[in-house]
Every structure is written in structure tokens, then in C-alpha cells.
Structure 1
Amino acid sequence: MVTVLVNGACGRMGQAVLKAVQEDSELKLVGAVDIKGGEDTGKLVGLPENGILVESNLTEALQRLNPDVMIDFTRPDVVFDNVMTALRNKVSPVVGTTGLSDGQKEEIRAAAEKLGTPAFIAPNFAIGAVLLMVLSRQAAKYMPDVEIIELHHDRKLDAPSGTAVQTAAMIAEVRKAHKQGHPEEKEKLAGARGAEYEGMHIHSVRLPGYVAHQEVIFGGLGQTLTIRHDSMNRESFMPGVVLAAKKVRSLCGLTIGLDKLLEF
């Protein structure tokens, strides 16, 4: 039985995680933290009351409850401190919050190795999204001209999404960097071609009605290939979150990406 504390418990993703943890026979919810404290974690997600109340102080909760795992779905501006707090308390963080810089990830890696406490970060916990990234890396070997379009709800704080950045990074592993489009191309409106990653373009859409969606478009001589994934609701992420919570303690140092836990 893996004991779990959920951080960011009152948010939309946090509530989905709370429900998934309580409904899994191999996980045991022992605590929850959010800036909005006080509510029963069973009642919060439509389950029977369990007496585990949402707290507001992460450090105190980690030290008192000593969980195996902290699942974090909070905000980009606080996630790094949350992760380091968990590691200092020998608790393995499973992180779904995006926005960590490369430098912060390296600091997390160093701390996880020094403290002997494994950590796990995934830009996307949907298994279909992981398959999209893996398939995109394969396709880029043969069709290296590619653009990424990611579409999310209008409450998302960072752009481009962590999934889009991770997809571009995986493609870059097999694709020689080169600038795409006409060499004399000029934007009539700044940003019209989106962000650029080693010559690839990434476009972010933010609209109400979306949850999390991405398509990767490859262009070749006389043909195009589109790989697309759609998350219709936040339940789509839960199998991946549960899997990571169960596996993280068996890992070493920092692991990034749900693909590392799947067999291909």
C-alpha cells in the first residue's frame, strides 16, 4: 500500500486525483494540502466522508503524515518549492504541474540523487498523449518538417504547454535542427508563426471548451501526416497519475516522462 498526500487538492486536477487515489485499492490517501483548507477530502469529491481534511501547510503535513508520495498539481510559480520541500522530507514527488525550467529540473535531479529520494515529473499523464509523443519521434526520422499545435482551456497559466515542449524535445532527439518556412519569411503580426524550438514552430490556442489537445503535423513531398490526441476530461490523466504514484519509489533520481514507465 502506497501512502499519498495530494497537493493542490481543491483545484480541478487536484480533485480528480483525490478521487482516483481513494478509489484505487493499492493507494492510501493520508493527507491533502491546498491554500483553501478545511474540507473533508471524501465529501469534496462526492465520496463518503473519510475524516481527512484539506490542510494549508505543506511542510507540517509532510512531516506529520510522512507519506510515501506527494502528488502535485498546483501552480508553476510554487511547484519548484513544493518539490524541494517534499524531497527534504524524504517524500517522493509525482509532479503534473508544468512550468519548471531546465535549471530547476537539474536542481531537482541533484537533490533527488543526494537525498536518495526518487522524483517523477510528467508534462502529460494521459497515456494517449504519451503515445502521440513516442509516435511523433518515430515519424520525425522520416518527415523532419513539423509543426505543433496545442489547444487548452483558457485558465491554463503557461504557454506553450509542457506536453508541446516535451514533444518538440523528443522530436529534436532524431531531427537535425533546421529553420522551417521560407528563408525570407516575415511576420505581418508579431508571433504569427508561434514559438520556435530548434526551427520547429509551436502554436498555443487558449479557449473555453477545451481541456487538453495536441496535434503534430508533418509535411513531406506531396503529403502530410497528422498525429492528434484529445483529452475530453480530466479523468483521462488519472491512470497515468496512479501508475506513477505506484512506481515512483522504485525509480532512481529524477525521471521525466510517463513513457519511461510504459513498455514499447
Structure 2
Amino acid sequence: MRKVLIAGAAGAMGQKAVALVNTMDGYDLTAVLAPHLKTDERARYHLANSVKIYHQLDQVEDGIADIWIDFTVPTAVYKNVKFALQHGFRPIVGTTGLTDEQETELVQLSKQQQLGGLIAPNFGMSAVLLMKFAQEAASYFPDVEIIEMHHADKKDAPSGTALSTAKLIDQVRQSHETNPAETESLAGVRGGDYHGIKIHSVRLPGYIAHEQVLFGGAGEALTIRQDSFDRQSFMSGVKVALEKVATLSHLVIGLENIL
């Protein structure tokens, strides 16, 4: 029986993860980290009486779990994952907001600790395929922009998926000049810039998670789009991560790398 701790268990994604673990054979939800979850709210959050509730990171006890699932917030994720690795937990991380430098440090720490884990900007299969297809298309269409659309409560911008898409495109994209005469009459109107790839973030009620990658060429255009209409769609990827994390020798970045 593999023991699981869920950080951010009271949030929308955390609750989906709780439901998933509760239905998986061979896995036992033993603890949650949720700063504002009260012990008398167990029934509301579908937590058995045996589940330990921690309100602070430094309260988490060694050995309480084997796997650490993190669906928290960008300001907490780095400290959480570092703590998990230092205390023998295998992390599965869906929280975005880690910098490249932080990811590099955490991967190195995982190798030192000889602990496998996964950091995934998106657990949805459609998003993983979008990134794969976008990277392939970028070899033929170097002129590209990304539009990501998320719910109004999302705390970070751009989304981790959009930034990961840009990084994958940048690996294969031919270098070329942008329009040197371009000006902005409204600051920021052209979006963020990752090595010349423009990224635009939309935050509106009613959306969940959506991304478009727009390619332009001489006389033609290509648009690749994915839509996540329900957070339940991300759980197929989390399930894969739970099943494979014990086989990983270090922290892996991207769900596509363990499929």
C-alpha cells in the first residue's frame, strides 16, 4: 500500500486528487497539508478520520507518506517540493510558478536524495499533445504566438503550460528577425516575450484551461488548440504519475516524459 499526502487538498484540484486517491487500489491517503482546513470539516472534503491534517509545512512528519501530491499556489510550491525531497517523499507537482533555476535545483536535489518525482505544467492529455504537436510544427513555421486562457482566479501568468510550450518551440525554432519597426501605443499590448515568442494571457470567469498556438507562414496559417472544460480531465495524468513515480530515479519535468 503506497501512502499519499496531498498538499492543497482543500482547493479545486486538490479535491479532485483526493477523490482519485480514494478510489485507487493500492493507494492510501494518509495526510493532507491545508492551512485553512478545519478538523471538523473532514466530511465536507471527503477525508477519512484516519487522515492526518497539517496546517503548516514544518508540522509534516517523516514517514507519514511515500508520495507528495502538490496542488497549492506558486508562492508555496518551491518550498513544498524542496521539503518533500529532503524528507523522503516522492513529489508529483501540478502547481505552476517554479522558475527554471528552481526546477534545476530541485532536479539536482532529487538526484542527491535518489528520489524520483514529476513536475508537470499540465496533467491533461490534450495539453501534452498540444505541446508535442506545436514543437513539431515550429520546425516548419518559425513565426508563432501563444494565447492561453484560464479562469479568473488563476494566480500566475503566463500559465505553466504556455511557458512550457514556448520552451519546447524554442528548442527547434529557426532564428529569424522580428519586425524592427513595430511599436506599442499601449504598453504590453503585444504580450510577454520568451526568446521572441509572444505569449498572451487571458483571465475570465467561465474558463477553466485553454491554449492556442498560432503559426503564420506565406499565404497560410496553422492553429493548434486544446480545451479543458472540467478539472476531472487532469486526473488521468495524475493517475499515470502515481502509477509510475516509484520507477523514476530523479525528478522529471513534463508528463510527456513518462508516458
Shorter-chain TM-score range? over 0.9
C-alpha distance in structure 1 between counterparts of 2:185 and 2:75, whole Å: 33
Q: 1:62-110: per-residue Cα shift (whole Å, max 9, x none)?
A: 4151x11100011111111111111111111111111111111111011
For the residue of structure 2 that corresponds to 1:183, the secondary structure is coil
Q: 1:167-206: per-residue Cα shift (whole Å, max 9, x none)?
A: 00111111123344x3201011011110111111100001
TM-superposed CA distance for 1:19, in Å, is 0.8
Structure 1 segment 145-164 matched on structure 2, within 5 A: 145-164=143-162
For the residue of structure 1 that corresponds to 2:6, the secondary structure is strand
TM-superposed CA distance for 1:41, in Å, is 8.1
**What's the counterpart of residue 86 of structure 2?**
88
The share of aligned pairs that are identical, in percent, is 46
Contact 2:148 2:159 in 1 (8 A): yes
Match of 2:185 among 176, 185, 188: 188
Number of aligned residues: 259
- What amino acid sits opposite 2:38 in the alignment? G
For the residue of structure 1 that corresponds to 2:176, the secondary structure is coil
Deviates more, 1:32-41 or 1:183-192: 32-41
- What amino acid sits opposite 1:37 in the alignment? L
- What amino acid sits opposite 1:195 in the alignment? G
Deviates more, 1:54-63 or 1:231-240: 54-63
Structure 1: where are the runs of 5+ without partners? none
Structure 2: where are the runs of 5+ without partners? none
**What's the counterpart of residue 28 of structure 2?**
28
TM-score (norm 1): 0.93
- What amino acid sits opposite 1:199 in the alignment? G
Match of 2:115 among 110, 114, 117: 117
Label 1:48 to 1:191 Cα distance change in 2 as closer, same or farther (>3 A): closer
**What's the counterpart of residue 133 of structure 1?**
131
**What's the counterpart of residue 173 of structure 1?**
171
Corresponding position: 1:260 with 2:257: yes
TM-superposed CA distance for 1:26, in Å, is 3.6
TM-score (norm 2): 0.94
Label 1:183 to 1:48 Cα distance change in 2 as closer, same or farther (>3 A): closer
TM-superposed CA distance for 1:247, in Å, is 1.1
- What amino acid sits opposite 1:152 in the alignment? H
- What amino acid sits opposite 2:7 in the alignment? N
**What's the counterpart of residue 214 of structure 1?**
211
Contact 2:20 2:235 in 1 (8 A): yes
Q: 1:7-62: per-residue Cα shift (whole Å, max 9, x none)?
A: 011011111111111112242211111002334786234x5845425321334334
Q: CA RMSD in A?
A: 1.7
Match of 2:196 among 191, 195, 199: 199
C-alpha distance in structure 2 between counterparts of 1:196 and 1:238, whole Å: 31
Contact 2:139 2:174 in 1 (8 A): no
C-alpha distance in structure 1 between counterparts of 2:124 and 2:165, whole Å: 14
